[in-house]
A and B are shown apart, each in its own frame.
Chain A
Amino acid sequence: MTAASLQRANTTRSQLAVEIRGLSKSFGRTKALDGLDLTVAPGDITGFLGPNGAGKSTTIRVLLGLLRADSGTVRLLGGDPWRDAVALHRRIAYVPGDVTLWPNLTGLQAIDFLARLRGNGVDTRRRDQLIERFELDPHKKARTYSKGNRQKVAIVAAFSTNAELYILDEPTSGLDPLMEKAFQICVQEVADRGAAVLLSSHILAEVEKLCDNVTIIRAGRAVKSGTLEELRHLMRTTIAVRTRDDAVALQQVPYVHDFTSQDGYARFSVDRNDLDFTMEHLTELGIDELTVTPASLEDLFLREYQGADR
């Protein structure tokens, strides 16, 4: 963590929407969560990423008070999600990744019921606006809905409430690209009015477009977290270069990683902080051709998902 982000964490500590420290949860002998840390600040959209089975849904269920934490501290909007579940649920909205609906209720009945459960009133104008935005036919029985349409029901129900925290667990699975766009507008709107959003997703473009912060978890613990900019900064830049003198000498330099050389063409990666030295070094060797590629988010994610060391 950088000094700036640490400081911010300290000042906003009391108002954090989600604050998880050292959370552990086991099911029998399986350790689903193993000392997880995660924070979401109001007004922020935090991406929550990780490979399948990393513990994302378990974390979200602990936040919802459906599962009880084995150890560690979990604060949700300043309360205990297990003890104060009901009171806290009035202030949050949730979209699961796999929506199950009562087959014999209509879409509208389900939306109204789910929104009403929050207990602070349904904004029917907002609801109708959302139904229109998502092009949902609300009068059909839920059993006739496709996966995408069931997903829309949950999204409309969640976003027609005035929540302080939105917990979204792979909310766009099954939605078409147009609807994904509509969803992104919804998320942006609630974040703009100061609500916190925890977005678990596998769609990198969505994360890149929406999220201010990202936490990546693997095997039940956070392996990376910070702003996207910080994470990018942590990644090494890839350099491909053809030099007049032999570049093999670079292999001996301590800050050069993953060096390969073929037909006089050298390829290696360096930390961003070491770019200056590298350039000086290359200039000494004489540059014929040079390509510098900053790390893409995809590289970052793939690297963290696979569990490679940095």
Chain B
Amino acid sequence: MTTATVAPHTGRHEAAHPGSPFTGVGSLLRLALRRDRVRLSVWIAALTLMMVYAPNAIKLAYPEEPQRLARVNLLKTPAGMILGGPMFGGNETDLGAMMANELMLTVIIAASILSILTVIRHTRAEEESGAAELVLSSVVGRYARTYAALILVGGVNAVLAVTMTLAMSATGFGIVDTAAMCLGITGVAMVFGAVAAVTAQLWRQARTATGAAMATLALAALVRGIGDVINNSGSALSWFSPIAWAQQMRSFVDLRWWPFALLVALAVGLMGLAAVLESRRQYDDGNIPSSGERPNARPITGVFGLHLTLQRGQTIGWTVGLFLGGLAFGSMTKSLLDAAKENPLLARVLTAQGTDGVYTTMTQFLAAAASAYVVGAVLRVYSDEESGLGEAVLAGAVSRWRWLLTAVAATLVGSVVLMFFAGLGNGLGAGITLGEPETIVRLTLAGLAYVPAMAVIAGFAALAVALRHAWIGWLAVTFVVVSLYLGALLRLPRWLIDLSPVGRTTVPTDFPAVALTVMVAVAAALTLCAGWIYRSRDAV
């Protein structure tokens, strides 16, 4: 032991290299771990358990070869391709290959979202709230906060790679292929952590930076999906998306390691870019200047107007995203019908349900995405309460009822816009490729039929605000997405899947008038209940 060299260092804040940009990274890292100990533990535990639960669920659901083959054939359809991953031929019914194909994308997206949220939370959000000012006034290097956030995310992903590999290989998968799959997942997550570090330098608001990073993730998923629809084992387009790189490691089929090097190179490159961008900006400033003066800003006439104004940016961003998503989904209808000619299973499904079944599933997926917008918009009432903005409004002649109900109403207006354009995009995509103009109107109206389901979600979000537990709202979104996307895969009981308002809306296959009426009633009851609780609790 070389005790002699470390003896003089006793100062609490003493740095090894005074003045280096890394000074204080250690303390910041400890602070971050202390702040996030529960949050990160829950995420890591959930993702790890997923790796144990999913293979067992598949094994139970598809015990025999023919059943698995049917499942694989179903996933060879364009929608299956987009929501799963590329197929490389060979032993397709092997459980490992099925996992890599079906589960990988979900876990990649979840882990990437975790990375994005964590990086922004410890970089731009701190600057915006002003907490970083206190930190930077002490012995901390100018760029230490960004480095600390990236090291934290790196650590989280390393832990995830280890726990997920151990969990999955414990259920009987080959450890090398499992490790490759889990490293691919965490590699992509690291890339998007680095993307968030870049967007945090570009924009001044944490919300915008998060939104931009999430949009990049959505774009990457879409590019990968369309690329793989073009060619089921990955076309040139697929390779523009880092998500494809992880899937192209071909775990359990034909393992190769070099795509992982691409992920590492991109992550390191983006981190370098973030460092360069950070050195070019000042504290609490963005590389993209934010507009300052607006002499002709329109007056805000009331609480409802305030909600609409504050949500405008979010609504526009989501509308564009869902319109493009709808367009992409819709345009795949043609290739789906073509695929049915060679895929007997698909042909059977199509003759049973017609193309309407496909349209319904597509619209349901768009609505599930919109539910995240709904919850985010309603929960702003809660974050405004935390930041003190709500106090200013409630000190005016505004009742709690009005403040919460107008938030829900403004969100519903936003979701009408969202679902209209999502349906329009879907209709345009399908109508133009199939040459059926009437489909455009039909699918646009189908999109609007999901507004009652959005109202139910908004009711849950309002309840989350009233009870001061934001997670209730996000739980509703998670439930809608999981029941729709993984419901069959995870073998969730039928009654549980049927609880999802989005799943219960089966337009345009049929028009469930009773279910829609019940949804409107449930939404109203939830919102009124939330309003009543909100009225009788302390509001600061």
Chain A residues packing against B (C-beta within 8 Å): 61, 64-68, 85-87, 89-90, 92, 94, 96, 98-106, 108-109, 112-114, 116-119, 139-141, 143-144, 154
Contact = CB atoms under 8 A, between A and B. Distances in A.
Contacts of B297: 105-106, 108-109, 139
A64 B397 contact: no
Classify the interface of chain B: helix, strand, loop or mixed. Answer: loop
B395 A94 contact: yes
Contacts of B393: 117
Interface string B289-309: 011111101111111001001
A143 B387 CA distance: 14
A102 B389 contact: yes
Interface residues of B, number: 38
B292 A67 contact: no
B310 A116 contact: no
Contact of B539 (A67, A105, A116): A67
A172 to B, nearest CB: 18
A68 B540 CA distance: 11
A141 B540 contact: no
Interface of B: 204-205, 290-295, 297-303, 306, 309-310, 313, 387-389, 391-400, 402, 536-540
Contacts of A103: 205
A123 to B, nearest CB: 15
B301 A116 contact: yes
Contacts of B290: 141, 143
Nearest to A103: B205
A66 B385 CA distance: 11
B301 A96 contact: no
Given A61-B540, A67-B540, A102-B389, A114 B299 contact: no
B294 A90 contact: no
Contacts of B292: 140-141, 144
Given A96-B388, A114-B392, A139 B399 contact: no
18 contacts: A67-B538, A68-B536, A85-B399, A86-B398, A86-B399, A87-B397, A96-B395, A104-B310, A106-B294, A109-B298, A112-B300, A114-B396, A117-B397, A139-B294, A140-B292, A141-B291, A143-B290, A154-B392
B397 A90 contact: yes
A103 B206 CA distance: 12
A154 to B, nearest CB: 8
A245 to B, nearest CB: 61
Given A87-B397, A116-B302, 20 more contacts: A66-B395, A67-B538, A85-B399, A86-B397, A86-B398, A89-B397, A96-B391, A99-B392, A100-B387, A100-B389, A100-B391, A100-B392, A105-B300, A106-B293, A114-B396, A117-B397, A117-B398, A118-B397, A139-B297, A141-B294
